[in-house]
Amino acid sequence: MTKPLLTAIALLVGSSFAMATTLDAPPPYAGDVKPATQAPVKSSSAPKEAANPLLPSKADMEKAREDRAHGKIPPKFDRQTKIEAVRDENNHVTEYVVTPGSTHIPYKMENQADRPIDSTPGGNSKSTLGTTKFIEFGW
């Protein structure tokens, strides 16, 4: 039993050495193939500024300089979150409207100070604000 096992192992080791030597040698057709040469790519005659459409053009820069000389100031985009309180006729706050500065999409929270505090299990007994309304459907 050991003799056939040793013979099989010797054949596997010998074949792995034979495979290693054939894999290390270059393939027979490697010298026959010429590498493909590509013609150099010519760049367009347009200036590099026109390659990026997001960059301002020279005409845009001239218009901005003229506007600045005449005192026109470009608008600044407000990135601060705004919180507004909506009041009823008795000057009680009925809801808060929050407008994030990043998205400018407002959402509302009702002020439930006039309602009894929610003392049910799982209810928030410390807050008088209702559930946030992120989406409001109107017909």
Cα–Cα distance for residue pair 21/10, rounded to 1 Å: 17
Residue pair 117/96 in contact (Cβ under 8 Å)? The answer is no
| Residue 83 within any structural domain of the chain | yes
pLDDT tens digits in sequence order for the chain, 139 residues long: 677 777 878 777 766 665 655 556 656 665 565 666 666 666 655 555 457 888 888 999 999 999 989 988 877 777 889 999 999 888 888 888 998 888 888 888 887 776 666 677 766 666 667 667 777 666 6
| Residue 4 within any structural domain of the chain | no
| Residue 112 within any structural domain of the chain | yes
Task: Provide the number of structural domains found in the chain.
Answer: 1
| Residue 52 within any structural domain of the chain | no
Cα–Cα distance for residue pair 69/31, rounded to 1 Å: 69
| Residue 58 within any structural domain of the chain | no
Q: Name the β-bridge partners of 95.
A: 86, 110
Write the DSSP assignment of 51-69 as a string of letters: G-TTS--HHHHHHHHHHHH
Domain interval for residue 116: 78-139
Residues 6+ positions from 107 with CB-CB distance below 8 Å:
97, 98, 132, 133, 134
Residue type at 25 in one-letter notation: A
| Residue 103 within any structural domain of the chain | yes
| Residue 61 within any structural domain of the chain | no
| Residue 40 within any structural domain of the chain | no
